[in-house]
Amino acid sequence: MTIAVTGASGQLGHLVLNALAGRTSAGNIVALARTPSKVAAEGIEAREFDYTKIETLASGLAGVETLILISSSEIGQRIVQHRNVITAAKSAGVRAVLYTSVLHADTSVLSLADEHRVTEADLRLSGLSFTILRNGWYTENYTGSVEAALKGGAFIGSAGDGRISSAARADYAEALAVVATGVNHTGKTYELAGDGVWTLSDLAAEVSRQTGRDIPYRDLSDADYARVLVGAGLPDGLAHAIAGWDIAASQGALFDAGRQLSTLIGRPTTSLSESVAAALRAVSVQTGSRIPL
């Protein structure tokens, strides 16, 4: 079986390659990326694969039986880009597609869900065998702000007391590898989320505990949060999108208690405390400082 992974040089993609390498030989894996030279995976073939270059996609999928379609990072362009890949997969004779959607895509109030809903519909109409893995939030989406919180003395956001069932990227990557190399997953939709449930106040408390500093969570309106993000250098559209995702979190969009992710991977998902510890180690390495900062 030849398994190809799109976005293979990305944050999730390279973890998927690692997870697959633990379950099948490197010769069975193909890494697809816009810039193949950025793929660092010993023994794995890397091919150029750009969602926007329609005329080259089918050749990039030559010999591929199972395609892991990691959703594009280009919000607003995903429908067309994913449709290009699905069309190419049919042309190339791909047997099955695994698609990374978003948690509860069919009902979610997240703005991100709209494009995922369309791609899920496209897959159902494609005639291809498929499995949909609806990924919840990556814990790294929030722990990536640890350094800023330490420097500023507080976490900020607009999620209120919204419950978040996140997991580490590596957990979701392992689930993709399990499904890609396993059986009896065709036609299924998995709602994937972490075992633990936390709020942004809990995150702030955990950072405080591990650093010995008082790092509170300060809840802002979405407009004020977006304004702060713009002031920190984020583009206006992205800043408002992030603030909107926090509002969606306050409405339950990032919560799920089904534990389908830990069931798939056969172990508990990475805890919040483990993810915070990893983030603090990364900050220490990047800054050359000993925590607490």
What is the share, in percent, of the chain residues with pLDDT greater than 70?
Answer: 98
Cα 50 to Cα 30: distance, rounded to the nearest angstrom = 14
Distance between CA atoms of 99 and 110, rounded to whole angstroms?
18
Domain boundaries, the chain: 3-135, 137-168+193-256+270-293
Of 33, 27, 68, 28, nearest to 176 (Cα)?
68
Give a three-class secondary structure readout of 159-223: CCCCCECCECHHHHHHHHHHHHHCCCCCCCEEEECCCCCECHHHHHHHHHHHHCCCCCEEECCHH
**pLDDT at site 293:** 47
Contact 161, 199 (CB under 8 A): yes
Neighbours of 244 (CB within 10 A): 18
Task: Identify the weakest region by mean pLDDT among 29-43, 108-122, 148-162, 262-276.
Answer: 29-43
Q: CB neighbours of 153 closer than 8 A, spacing ≥ 6?
A: 215
Q: Give tens-digit pLDDT for 71-129.
A: 999 999 999 999 999 999 999 999 999 999 999 999 999 999 999 999 999 999 999 99
Region 165-181: mean pLDDT is 98
Distance separating alpha carbons of residues 94 and 49, to the nearest angstrom = 15
CATH topology for 3-135? Answer: Rossmann fold (3.40.50)
Which H or E run contains 99?
strand 96-102
Q: How many CB atoms lie within 10 A of CB 9?
A: 20
**Confidence band (pLDDT; 50, 70, 90) for 289?**
low
Q: What are phi and psi of 45, to 5 degrees?
A: -70, 135
- The encoded tokens of residue 151 equal 């420097």
pLDDT reading at 292 higher than 80? no
Question: Tell me, what's the pLDDT at 192?
Answer: 98
Q: What was the pLDDT predicted at 284?
A: 86
Asked: is 137-168+193-256+270-293 a CATH 3.30.465.10 domain? The reply is no
Tally of CB atoms within 10 A around 90: 15
Q: Give how far the C-alpha of residue 262 lies from the chain's centroid of Cα atoms, to the nearest Å.
A: 16
Distance CA 287, CA 215 (A): 19
Average pLDDT, integer, range 265-287: 93
Domains 3-135 and 137-168+193-256+270-293 share a fold: no
User: Mean pLDDT across the stretch 43-52?
Assistant: 94
What is the per-residue DSSP string for 6-70?
Answer: TTTTSTTHHHHHHHHHTTS-GGGEEEEESSGGG---TT-EEEE--TT-HHHHHHHTTT-SEEEEP
Q: Amino acid identity, residue 52?
A: T
- pLDDT surpasses 80 at 288: no
Q: Is the pLDDT of residue 45 over 70?
A: yes
pLDDT tens-place string over residues 222-264: 999 999 999 999 999 999 999 999 999 999 999 999 999 999 9
